[in-house]
Chains A and B, each alone.
Chain A
Amino acid sequence: MRILDQQCAGRVLSFLSAMLWAMCQRANPADLNLSVLDAGGHGVEGIVFVAQPQFELPNKHPIRTAIMDQQKMQFVPNIVVIQAGTGVEFPNSDQIEHQVYSFSAAKTFKLSLYAGHKYPPVVFDRPGLVIVGCNIHDHMVGYIYVTDTPYFGRSNQSGLLSLHELPTGSYRITAWHPRMQEPGGASPQMSVMVTDTAAASAVFQLTQPLRASTEHSGDKRWADY
């Protein structure tokens, strides 16, 4: 019981810390501070946050180019979040060929990539999750989360993400990760009101740990027999 009490107290402290962090951020009226904690109250790194405005956006942010590299027979990073219309470059830093493809509904493409060659970016113009694979190395799996909002990011080592200069109004926040295993399988969502008087914040509490990653960062010596 004492241990339980300590665990409980720890969780409360972590939660309060996250809230305190959210309140102590620069009081920019259009800031949104997000955090995600595991069941033990510790920050979870790498969670995708997407803030979807529940209103018409006045204008869209400039679109950039993102990169999903192939290093040691893995997609690096293996999760990329982009706004619809963004191009993604797929360089190949390995000394072997990769054949990158996706048949996801949001984007279908195929690309044979040879080491040292440069290819034009692939443009992802429809929102949705695009799962990327390599036709030669089946264990390689990457995720491109395409959203139609410019407000997104991934949590840092402490499980925190700050989004700045958001238009005021109501947002639906989605937290997502391919190895998330929350009950029901749905991505946790939360509604937040961003106002011009104080930074808004939201804290997500995961009930289940992320599924362990066992993807081996192989090298060219690994073959498929």
Chain B
Amino acid sequence: MKIFLRTTTGQGITFEGQLDTADLPEELADRMEKILRPRRLSTVAKAPMPHAMVDMQQYELTLLPKSSRSKPKKFQFSDAGAGEDLVELMDELTHEITLQKVRALSGG
């Protein structure tokens, strides 16, 4: 499973990158496969943001196709209505993107 994730924190900082379950720890990869289902993401993307919520973290998540005959599926959602398991996964995936950049900068 490959994804492209762009996380915009509630302070306006953006993290973005591509992640492949093949490169991630097994436990995290398993959770990605389990949680990032198109039907669930569609439902979360429709959740309205409570009016008074500000500085909320937001996500643009694209499920990249396994073959060139399929199309990528893009979802936009926020922490509002995402559920605890999904927001925790988003935190970890965002952190993986940061670690990717750190490794790239250090030549690792």
The finding on whether chains A and B are genuine partners in a shared complex, rather than unrelated, reads no
Residues of B near any A CB (own CB < 8 A): none
Residues of A near any B CB (own CB < 8 A): none
